[in-house]
Structure 1
Amino acid sequence: MSNGSVVILTALNLEYQAVRQRLADPQVHRHERGTRFEVGSVRGTSCNVALGLTSKGNHSAAVIAERAIQEFSPVAVLFVGVAGALWDTTRLGDVVMASHVYAYHGGTSEDDGLKARPRVWEAPHGISQLASHLARLNDWADPAPGHEDAPQVRFGAIAAGEIVQNSRISAEAKWIRRHYNDALAIEMEAAGVAQAGHLNGAPVAIVRGISDRADGTKNSAEDRNWQPKAAANAAAFATRLAVELLGEQEETAMPRDDRVRSTDQLDRHVSNTAHNSTVGVMAGSVTGSNVHLNTAPKASGPTDLIAELECFHDQLAWHRAEGTLDEDTCREALTDLDSALRSAGGNTPESSKRTVMTLRRLRGLVAEYPALVAALAPIVAAAGDLA
């Protein structure tokens, strides 16, 4: 499938239905191992979403997330649903987007007690920035009936474990609040999805609506009342985020003619301002006072794609030589690039799909280097067109 899509996963049918209601004409897509997804577009937009159900727990969530990433090569994976608030400062119905995820069940048992040894995954910077922007706009929520306060988006840590947390006075509850006192919410799937995204080079965002306070009120009348509201609020924010993510992806991978026009404008600007000046150029050529920048044109076949990959190899080497790319990242990036070059020469649907997946993993590796991300984005898009 084309990489112009976002995967949205949920753990519960209630959460699944909250997202599905926002999709137009969802169609069943069956994974070869039996996992069923539904693929549709967010109503009123061209944003394609592949929706899947993971069931409860980090382990099953990780497996289904990896299947979804391999199957759809998505722009991003959003895990959407409800969670319990750890502190009274977060209101019921509000949405928490994870700035980072704790897998809090990691630890070591010693004579003087249980010591925390969590794994932690941070949210991708670009997605966090976009989500913060949407939260400031504050126009994503469905109109609330009556005079209820509109839900707000909170950003902070989310703790993900292997048990349903429904107490504030149990030994486990006190331990969590002592060791993870910056966590806003607690749930059971985010760590698995974050790990799957990390291993496959896919950006992951966790979006949770607060349905309870993890204080013994789960399955109460109040919880049954708040669960659908919290799920709907999380679905509303997540689908808005998905639409904006794909919009940004399309802007990054603009058609070649548009990129050439942008480059021509830059050439004219440099030509008018850089007389008798020294200009450092990462890639391209200089003629007189004109600077000509290399762009990544849309590949018309495997040979063109290989040429663009080889050009990107030179850019990695340049960044490493300049000291803007650390040695370990460069080594891993070159390993992925070599793998992409090998699969790009296969000229089969399977090899094309492997190329896209490898390039997406490579993009994750260089996510902190804007120049490399910008150079890689049209190559990823071109590889996707060939897949």
Structure 2
Amino acid sequence: MNDTPVVVLTALNLEYEAVREKLTSPEPYLHPRGTLFEVGTLPGGRGRVALALTGKGNQSSAVLTERAIQEFSPAALFFVGVAGALWDTPLGDVVVATHVYAYHGGTSEDDGLKARPRAWESPHGISQTAQHLARLGTWCRHAPAQQDRPHVHFGPIAAGEVVQNSRVSHEAAWIRQTYNDALAVEMEGAGIAQAGHLSGTPVAVVRGISDRADGEKATEADRAWQPVAAANAADFALELAGELVGTEEPSSMREKKDPRDTGNVTNTSNGTVGVQAGHVSGGTFHVSLPASGAAPDVVAELDSLREGLAQERSAGRIDEETYEAASEELDTASKGIEEGTPEGKKSSILALKRLWGLLGDLASLGARIAPLISAVKGTS
């Protein structure tokens, strides 16, 4: 079982229960600041899940997302729950966000409201794995036989600050005009996505459709569909989590070895062969050769990354605020390595993930951070 957990957050107790009932042996885990998590095992024992309730809204969700990331250094973070359909997505179906729109950003001018959109894309790896699971269709094996088999849809989700329960309101018209490709609407995804972006943690937003955002919230139909939609979202999210924690690191992160490096040394000239380590049996020397892609010197690489950061600032490719924030994360990572403790290692990994979020758009620096995170994880 993979020791790195996945964090699952929900806004409502109904959503929380839909996830919790699928976990094995959930145990309370109290954060020093009072947030109560429950840590359990995924179905099939494929990994651990830390589950918590955020309450409604993007702000509280963002704060508790950051808290969960700091505490658990998760392999991924999921926000799971119900949402309203913006178009004709069937009730009970699941929507996995390809983008999250923060749709309330704008500027009010004399001739009307102008959009200032913000959007966050789903990480490529999560999106690819989710698409694969949707094609297989095995994730919904627990759906009641009398119900139609739920489907998974991929598309943008709009996240705002109000409960959207009308198709003729000003807000509904605003979404249709400005975010007309969004499949669902909710109130937490933007906060989750921003916190994940800043920390470098992969984030997935998985929603079950419980209503059509058309004035029917809090009706008998809505109360009937909410638990169904929440259960379907939980089923898909936990199946996806199991796939992610059970997947090997991509080949670019693995050590690569020259096939010619067989580890055998043959003395063909009857001369003297010196070895620094290994054991000798008869006339054959058996040695272990390091792979050509062995982990770099972490301290030296951090220093080199710091130099590259200064060069990017001098060239005007990053602003002063980003430079200062990135420098602080490098300082934190260096300090953690110097401490040489498990806590220091964890602190370094988190700092590098946040650094990745800050510098991921700069190819010259972003490409160097992922191998560095892997190298720190491999330190003892």
TM-score (normalised: structure 1): 0.79
Per the alignment, residue 92 of structure 2 pairs with: 93
Per the alignment, residue 346 of structure 2 pairs with: 353
Please give the residue correspondences for 1:353-372 in structure 2 after superposition, counting only pairs within 5 Å: 353-364=346-357, 365-366=359-360, 372=368
Please give the residue correspondences for 1:245-260 in structure 2 after superposition, counting only pairs within 5 Å: 245-248=244-247, 250-251=248-249, 259=255
Report SS of the residue matched to 2:74. Answer: coil
1:265 is aligned with what amino acid? P
Per the alignment, residue 282 of structure 1 pairs with: none
Please give the residue correspondences for 1:148-227 in structure 2 after superposition, counting only pairs within 5 Å: 148-227=147-226
Please give the residue correspondences for 1:11-30 in structure 2 after superposition, counting only pairs within 5 Å: 11-30=11-30
8 A Cα contact 1:54 1:60, kept in partner: yes
Per the alignment, residue 285 of structure 1 pairs with: none
CA drift of 1:337 comes to 4.1
2:354 is aligned with what amino acid? R
Residue 304 (structure 2) pairs with residue 308 (structure 1)? no
Report SS of the residue matched to 2:140. Answer: coil
CA drift of 1:363 comes to 4.3
2:378 is aligned with what amino acid? A
2:259 is aligned with what amino acid? Q
Paired residues in the alignment total 343
2:133 is aligned with what amino acid? L
C-alpha offsets along residues 339-378 of structure 1, whole Å, 9 cap, x if unaligned?
4123311235543332121122244444897964663353
CA distance in 2 between counterparts of 1:347 and 1:211 reads: 49
1:381 is aligned with what amino acid? K
Per the alignment, residue 41 of structure 1 pairs with: 41
CA drift of 1:94 comes to 1.0
CA distance in 1 between counterparts of 2:207 and 2:183 reads: 10
8 A Cα contact 1:47 1:243, kept in partner: yes
8 A Cα contact 2:95 2:153, kept in partner: yes
1:166 is aligned with what amino acid? N
CA distance in 2 between counterparts of 1:12 and 1:264 reads: 52
C-alpha RMSD of matched pairs (Å): 3.3
CA drift of 1:253 comes to 10
8 A Cα contact 2:98 2:154, kept in partner: yes
Percent sequence identity over aligned pairs = 57
Gaps of 5+ in 1: 269-290, 298-306
CA drift of 1:55 comes to 0.5
Residue 269 (structure 2) pairs with residue 265 (structure 1)? no
2:181 is aligned with what amino acid? D
8 A Cα contact 1:93 1:210, kept in partner: yes
C-alpha offsets along residues 164-205 of structure 1, whole Å, 9 cap, x if unaligned?
000111122111111110110000001111111122221211
CA drift of 1:135 comes to 1.4
1:119 is aligned with what amino acid? R
CA distance in 2 between counterparts of 1:38 and 1:163 reads: 29
Cα gap change, 1:175/1:327 in structure 2, threshold over 3 Å: closer, same or farther?
Answer: closer
Task: Name whichever of 113-122 and 163-172 sits farther off.
Answer: 113-122
Per the alignment, residue 115 of structure 1 pairs with: 114
Report SS of the residue matched to 2:139. Answer: coil
Per the alignment, residue 378 of structure 1 pairs with: 374
Per the alignment, residue 53 of structure 1 pairs with: 53
CA distance in 2 between counterparts of 1:334 and 1:78 reads: 29
Report SS of the residue matched to 2:216. Answer: coil
Cα gap change, 1:6/1:143 in structure 2, threshold over 3 Å: closer, same or farther?
Answer: closer
CA distance in 2 between counterparts of 1:43 and 1:128 reads: 21
C-alpha offsets along residues 259-307 of structure 1, whole Å, 9 cap, x if unaligned?
4xx5143757xxxxxxxxxxxxxxxxxxxxxx9623228xxxxxxxxx3
8 A Cα contact 2:28 2:39, kept in partner: yes
